[in-house]
Structure 1
């Protein structure tokens, strides 16, 4: 029998803190949120491994390291409005921190259910963040996503400013693609 409480603590100590995630709110929330309840039945033992376990057919959670680093880069603050796109674990962590979170799991993931989000996060890799995602950001709103067109992706944060949209790369990552967001394959000589 797996002691999930001990596994959560070990995850934070060995996969999160050792990767320069110093945001105490993110650490505390990850110690509290039962990640094992989000993975496919019979796969709870994979929830705290250094991997991205499947939570629904074709959908995966980001690895603990990647989701922690992405959350820290987004600097979530209690009271903010967030959108979690195919991101059930990130949503639960953000709720624990004190954000109001909408979840987008079904249907067209490129069409947002609202706008003026302080924070948007996605737990799957995409070739490029759709314009609708960045358009859904409030002033000073942040989008955290991993963009990938080859074997290694880049976790990026988009920030809506008065003058437009800023983009910065924060770390390398290799999660699975979110279904429907893979790079288009073309013919080249």
Structure 2
């Protein structure tokens, strides 16, 4: 497989048609090597328009979904970022390339270890992967400028919204299959939030979100 041709095709045939037109985001997809975050068994599918299995029932989201969320968050170099659900570490690497620092929470220890190894090999130094349940966010490092939920939730929990600073943005896919929608929530004042529906999609439920009685997600 011609890796660079496959990367180019992914960007031009999958990502641009999904209204990802920010040149900084598109350039970043050439710089952060997606194939370095894909399990070896699926390396030939690194650029396919699909979710890639990571083990333990978890997946990498499709490239177009990750790219669109990254664009809509409009990450700035001074932003402090929280990611819920590290997975392979790829989204954390993209966020880190645009922001100041990323705290990424992964409840499954084996995935957290793999993500740390992937990020280290890729030379990404401004991501902290914590083995933790992200259901309550990470209040000890709040507030955050950007929060990304890398999995679907039934609704956005108040605990996460409270960890956004004024002007901060949160992206999540909200709903239950087959009806889900990616949303961008902006904190416009203390306790005041503006929500924009971005696009319809269906992605796996955030790990653990469906398993806990009374869970806020």
Asked whether the two chains share a fold, i.e. TM above 0.5, the reply is: yes
Q: Which residue of 2 aligns with 1:8?
A: 7
SS at match of 2:134: coil
Q: Considering fraction of residues, name the structure with more helix.
A: 2
SS at match of 1:43: helix
Q: 1:48–1:64: 8 Å Cα contact kept in structure 2?
A: yes
Question: Superposed, which structure 2 residues align to 1:35-184 within 5 Å?
Answer: 35-87=34-86, 88-106=89-107, 107-113=132-138, 114-162=141-189, 164-182=192-210
Distance 2:159 2:20 in 1: 29
Distance 1:57 1:32 in 2: 28
SS at match of 1:178: coil
For each residue in 1:45-95, what CA deviation from the matched residue of structure 2 results, as whole angstroms up to 9, or x when unmatched? 222110111234222222111111111111111221111211422211122
Give the deviation of 1:184 after TM superposition.
8.7
Distance 1:73 1:160 in 2: 15
Change (3 A) 1:22 1:40: same
TM-score, L = length of structure 1: 0.88
**Structure 1 runs, 4 residues or longer, greater than 4 Å off:** none
Give the deviation of 1:172 after TM superposition.
0.5
Change (3 A) 1:144 1:8: same
Gaps of 5+ in 2: 108-131
Give the deviation of 1:111 after TM superposition.
2.4
TM-score, L = length of structure 2: 0.77
For each residue in 1:26-47, what CA deviation from the matched residue of structure 2 results, as whole angstroms up to 9, or x when unmatched? 1111111111222233111222
